[in-house]
Amino acid sequence: MAYSLLKFIRRFAAALAILSLLPVSVPRAEAASRIKDIADFEGVRDNVLIGYGLVVGLNGTGDTLLNAEFTRQSLIGMLERLGVNTRPSQSGTTNPTGGTDTLKPRDVAAVIVTATLPAYTRQGARIDVTVSSLGDSTSLLGGTLLVTPLLGADGEAYAVGQGQVSSGYTAGGAAATVTKGVPTSGRIAAGGVVEREVAADMEKMESVQVMLRNPDLTTARRVAQAINAFLGTESARPTDPGTVRLAVPARFQGDTVGLLTDIEQLRVQPDQMAKVVIDDRTGTIVMGENVRISTVAIAQGNLTIRITETPQVSQPTPFSSGGTTTTVNRTDVQVDEGADKKLAVLSAGITLQELVSGLNALGIGPRDLITILQAIKAAGALQAEIEVM
């Protein structure tokens, strides 16, 4: 008896040990987003760059120089910088634009070069550049972008672009043509070299602005509360619906990067306005979670008249001496007055799911639903903002 009891106690203890190793099922909290997914930090931003250049080596698909004077002037200027004189001589003939008749290549195209300089990109780093035709070039496939300075908003050159252009293509014959992508626009992977850095020093910052991507008073306050709860001090406070000002605590002085690294991982439940977004062109409707309506009755019906013509051919009997073949018209007219449509009552304070289910019960399509939502809003029963795209 004692041996059996001891054996049972040992088995029970082993079972408890196994259960203690199993993961504990915890009820799932309300979904929340990281601060880094809903906000940006001051100073951590991209910069756009733009430049003008030439793409050479095209297979007869470049600009027509007589139609694109800027391409011609750019080509002449580039050749002169390389020591090649293309100006007309006294004995040479000139065309109406002032150049020589022999300067008519179709393998050169003027392009606009754009790029994005990521935040804190150091000198010597490489970035992708995009090339777009500026003249009447038909394709940039196979071309090479010559050295092109990329300027910032202050007019300074921050990068230089050059390389082989990758673009779409067009192929076809007399009866059919196939086009893939956009032949007059291309991309150069790692085709830009950073030559100048954007001056910024996060280590010496005494305060940081946290900028919400979707400004909202409630969300801004929740972000400030989450930061203060993490730091244990009242260092963050919302200054407007889109900005939370964070004073760097003394223990993080000189380590602003570490502070922001910890803060961007904090989770906050963003608030959102009650809004209905409508796209009339595609019939798309997007409704937010907080959309509510007051008590309202809805009826929807359309008058549809359908006319079908089914002509029939009437022929005389075989071997008959008289009669002719004739066409007899057969017309079928159907009128649908929407008699099967019902008057539906939607109660006040219903949820989004109930609203959609109630409107779907009327058997209407997305475009009719757009009209109904606008009518409910006009009646003052829709407690949400309607935004038409």
List per-residue pLDDT tens for the chain, 389 residues long.
Answer: 554 545 544 554 454 444 444 444 333 445 689 999 999 998 888 899 999 999 999 988 999 888 888 888 888 888 888 888 876 655 544 444 444 445 678 899 999 999 999 988 999 999 999 999 999 999 999 899 999 999 999 999 999 999 999 988 777 777 788 888 889 999 999 999 999 988 777 778 889 999 999 999 999 999 999 999 999 999 999 999 999 999 999 888 888 889 999 999 999 999 888 888 888 777 788 887 788 777 777 666 654 556 566 777 777 777 666 667 777 777 666 655 555 555 555 566 666 567 667 666 666 677 777 787 888 888 888 888 888 87
Angle at 214 between CA 254 and CA 198, to 5 degrees: 40
Q: Contact 331/343 with Cβ under 8 angstroms?
A: no
CA proximity to 280, closest of 374, 378, 380, 379: 374
In angstroms, how far is the first alpha carbon of the chain from the final one? 81
pLDDT of residue 28: 43
pLDDT of residue 12: 47
pLDDT of residue 96: 46
pLDDT of residue 88: 64
Residue intervals in the chain for CATH 3.30.70: 202-268
Sign of CA dihedral 136, 142, 146, 152: positive
Distance from C-alpha of 260 to C-alpha of 242, rounded to nearest angstrom: 18
Half-sphere exposure of 79 (CA within 13 A, CB side): 13
Choose the CATH number for 202-268 among 3.30.70, 1.10.1660, 1.10.10, 3.10.310.
Answer: 3.30.70
DSSP alpha helix (H) spans, the chain? 2-21, 35-38, 69-81, 217-231, 256-263, 352-360, 366-378
For the chain, how many residues are written?
389
pLDDT of residue 339: 56
pLDDT of residue 331: 65
pLDDT of residue 54: 95
pLDDT of residue 173: 75
pLDDT of residue 43: 81
Inter-CA distances, 36 with 48, 140, 228, 243, 259, Å: 22, 39, 16, 14, 13
Residue with tokens 């050059």, as numbered in its chain: 162
